[in-house]
Amino acid sequence: MKQEPIKTEAIEITYREAVREALRDAIKRDERVFLMGEDVGRYGGCYAVSHGLLAQFGPERIRDTPLSESGFTGAGIGAAMAGMRPIVEVMTVNFSLLALDQILNTAATVRHMSGNQFGVPLVIRMATGAGRQLAAQHSHSLEGWYAHVPGIKVLAPATLEDARGMLWTALEDPDPVLIFENVMLYNMTGKLATDAGPVDIDKAAVRRPGRDISLIAYGGSLWKTLEAATTLAGEGIEAEVIDLRSLRPLDDATIMASVAKTRHAIIVDEGWRTGSLAAEVGMRIVEQAFWSLDAPLGRVCSEEVPIPYPRHLENAAIPQATKIVAAVKAALGRA
């Protein structure tokens, strides 16, 4: 990953603000860029990401839409095909299913269906993940489903740098790019360089080097995985943590290089276990790095239930650092 090193001063910033800075930067850079979605204008976005942007850029650039995901996603596709660079915000991935026909049957296929006459340079941002007690209709992690679809790219920014830098690179892509922002990250604070800028969107990143096991995670699970790695280090287990960043395409080279070194891998994925992105990553490891493996692969995924409302059940349903630690110890025979 070629993130800009922090060479000037860094400022304290939240993930939410980093996304907002990315939006502000894109709207300023390119007059074809506009943001469209439910409550993105007057309300400032359901997660307050676009707070203040309507006042700054006006209703032409920050457009409130009716509660109709299929309608405004389709409008975004049309605008993109006609030469604009729309950013469509969908409140959560659960609601994006109302727009699934537009995303899968139109956005992902138009270049192929038109014999390369039309492309859809559209960016769709949406929130994903559990942990805020929003219950089963607002808390799922379906980004793995989108990663199944050829014709689109699927990103999962987990760091401030990626929240700030992935949007512009995605807007420059000639095809649809979906950006999944985990709801638990919006309040995350950290230092970000004031001159942080665009980053690549096709490479995984090693967030913590280690020799004993590769922990492959993305999005909100990255931080739980890093927490687990810190715990494990206290017990003499050096875990290497990989942030996938891009779920489609997957950066096989970074994954395999890590597994070849550590010979063990656990995949952490907030999606449900069956048919998960974790399953895809695991299968690729078996296909490409089988002879490097020293133990069965492992997965830490969500339990196969609709995400529960009560906090203790919600926490129990999704990956947590303690579960990751236990999985690592089992894989290394230290359980």
Partner 1 sequence: MVEFRMPSLGADMEAGTLVEWLIKPGDVVKRGQVVAVVETQKGAIEIETFQAGRIDKVLVDLHSKVPVGTPLALILAEGEEKPAVATAVPPPAAVAPTAAPSLERPPMAPARPVSPVRPRVAPGTQVSPAARRLAQERGIDLSTVTGSGRDGAITYADVERRAAEVMAPAVPVAPAERKRAPTLDLGAMRVAIAAAMARSKREIPHYYLEHQVEVTACERWLAEKNATLPPEGRLLFGALPIKAVALAIRRFPAFNGFYRDNKFAPSPAVHVGVAISIRGGGLAAPALHDVDQLPLDELMRQMRDLIQRTRAGRIRGSEMSDPTITVSSLGERGVETLYGIIYPPQVAIIGIGKAVVRPWVIDGAIGPRSVITMTLSGDHRVTDGHAGALFLAEIGKLLQEPEKL
CB of 289 to partner 1, least distance (A): 9
Which residue's CB is nearer to partner 1, number 125 or number 264? 264
Instruction: Answer for the pair 165, 158: CB distance below 8 angstroms, yes or no.
Output: no
Which residue's CB is nearer to partner 1, number 12 or number 335? 335
CB of 333 to partner 1, least distance (A): 5
CB of 315 to partner 1, least distance (A): 28
Site string for partner 1, 15-44 (x = CB under 8 A): ------------------------------
Which residue's CB is nearer to partner 1, number 255 or number 307? 255
Sign for the CA dihedral angle at 113, 115, 116, 118 comes to negative
Kindly state the tokens that stand for 154.
Answer: 């699927």
Site string for partner 1, 293-312 (x = CB under 8 A): xxxx----------------
Kindly state the tokens that stand for 163.
Answer: 């929240």
**Length of the chain in residues, anyone?**
335
Which residue's CB is nearer to partner 1, number 209 or number 296? 296
Which residue's CB is nearer to partner 1, number 195 or number 294? 294
Q: Is 148 part of the annotated catalytic residue set?
A: no
Whole-angstrom CA distances from 97 to 141, 145, 209, 294, 324 are: 12, 11, 37, 40, 30
Whole-angstrom CA distances from 292 to 258, 263, 286, 303 are: 10, 5, 9, 29
Is 290 a binder of partner 1 (CB under 8 A)? yes
Integer Cα distance of 201 and 216 in angstroms: 17
Residues binding partner 1: number (CB under 8 A): 10
Is 231 a binder of partner 1 (CB under 8 A)? no
Q: Which of residues 314-333 bind partner 1 (CB under 8 A)?
A: 330, 333
Query: Which listed residue (17, 21, 38, 69) is catalytic?
Result: 69
Integer Cα distance of 245 and 31 in angstroms: 28
Is 292 a binder of partner 1 (CB under 8 A)? yes
Beta-sheet pairing, 153-155 with 246-248:
antiparallel
**Unique residue bearing structure tokens 């025979």:** 333
Query: Biggest alpha carbon distance in the chain?
Result: 59
Nearest to 86 by CA among 60, 56, 49: 60
Choices 5-13, 155-163, 265-273, 287-295; region in contact with partner 1 by CB under 8 A: 287-295
CB of 320 to partner 1, least distance (A): 23
Integer Cα distance of 251 and 201 in angstroms: 10
Strand partners, 125: 89, 179
CB of 148 to partner 1, least distance (A): 28
Is 117 a binder of partner 1 (CB under 8 A)? no
Query: Which listed residue (17, 138, 264, 280) is catalytic?
Result: 138
CB of 27 to partner 1, least distance (A): 51
Q: Which of residues 239-278 bind partner 1 (CB under 8 A)?
A: 263
Integer Cα distance of 312 and 304 in angstroms: 16
Residue 8 DSSP one-character state: S
Q: Is 138 part of the annotated catalytic residue set?
A: yes
Query: Which residues are at the interface with partner 1 (CB under 8 A)?
Result: 263, 290-296, 330, 333
Residues known to be catalytic: 69, 138
